[in-house]
Amino acid sequence: MPELPEVQALVDFLAERTDGLAITKVELASFSVLKTFDPPPQALEGSPIDGVSRHGKFLDIDADGVHLIFHLARAGWLRWSEQLPTTVVRPGKSPIALRVRLSDGSGFDLTEAGTKKSLAAYIVRDPREVPGVSRLGPDPLADDFTREEFGRLLEGRRMQIKGLLRDQEVIAGVGNAYSDEILHVAKVSPFAIAGSLPVEVVDRLYAALRDTLSGAVRTASGKPAAELKDAKRAGMRVHGRTGQTCPECGDVVREVSFHDTSLQYCATCQTGGKPLADRRMSKLLK
């Protein structure tokens, strides 16, 4: 799943590639992907692209005041093509959900792998009409996202820090992968209660949040869309690396699995050497 750094890289990539171009056609291959009905897709056609931006993990293409906004979710991706095939995409025949053609013959497909469909696109006149956008918390890389503001977000929260970092209504743009990374850098247990963290731990966490995300943005920026997924995977310290060696201390990277997700962490670095209970493991041991 693309998170803030990959989405920012897609924004930069699209902004460069679509500069001076107009949208000529929007083809829907999956009708469930478009969550809005007014304005219709035709409202984008013939409109020059004025800008590409990001709200958390949402991409926003502004075409003359009409916004095409999309969220790639867990299995969605953007596939850029310098020369799109002229054939019309057909519903149900491929992973393509939506195709956008541009005035020089280039364009992109939004694709989604797997059966659980959660890729979502919206066509609106104001980005705030998208519920997921209007509810977003502050952007952690914004200049005015200070240590004080981060502290306020944690205050009184009886929630595990891992869940809080992933909550888009608290902080926009962090998902499962980067929250694992941030917690590992800050040496904080994913299950620590957000509102109970000592001041110096909040300091470390704030620094880890900003450094990890800005470092990942630097790594991702300038890479073509097709290379972003591999670049993200390659840059991970603990996320997705169960059983491998912690780059900090040499301990083994452990995992806690849930019914449809898992987190990775290092016990030596983050939990005082004590492995966290893993529901799947304890179920197997019963």
What are the residues binding Zn ion (CB under 5 A)?
246, 248-249, 251, 266, 268-269
Assigned token pair, 148: 């004080």
Minimum CB–partner distance for residue 256 and Zn ion (Å): 15
Given the complex with Zn ion, which of 59 and 246 has the nearer CB atom? 246
CB of 177 to Zn ion, least distance (A): 17
Q: Is residue 8 a contact partner of residue 58, using CB atoms and an 8 Å limit?
A: no
- Which run of H or of E encompasses 253? strand 253-257
Return the number of the residue (81 or 268) whose C-beta is nearest Zn ion: 268
Among the residues of 57-198, which ranges form H helices?
131-134, 147-154, 161-166, 176-186
Shortest Cβ 241–Zn ion spacing (Å): 11
d(CA 222, CA 103) in angstroms, rounded, equals 23
| CB closer to Zn ion, 167 vs 251 | 251
Instruction: Indicate the residue among 142 and 249 with the shorter CB distance to Zn ion.
Output: 249
> Where are the alpha helices (H) located in the chain, listed in sequence order?
4-17, 131-134, 147-154, 161-166, 176-186, 199-220, 228-234, 267-270, 279-285
Minimum gap (Å) between residue 217 Cβ and Zn ion: 25
What's the min distance (Å) between Cβ of 249 and Zn ion? Answer: 3
Tell which residue, 89, 88, 108, has the closest CA to residue 100: 108
CA angle 206-210-216, nearest 5°?
A: 145
Which residue has 């888009």 as its token pair?
A: 168
Between residues 34 and 185, which has the closer beta carbon with respect to Zn ion?
185
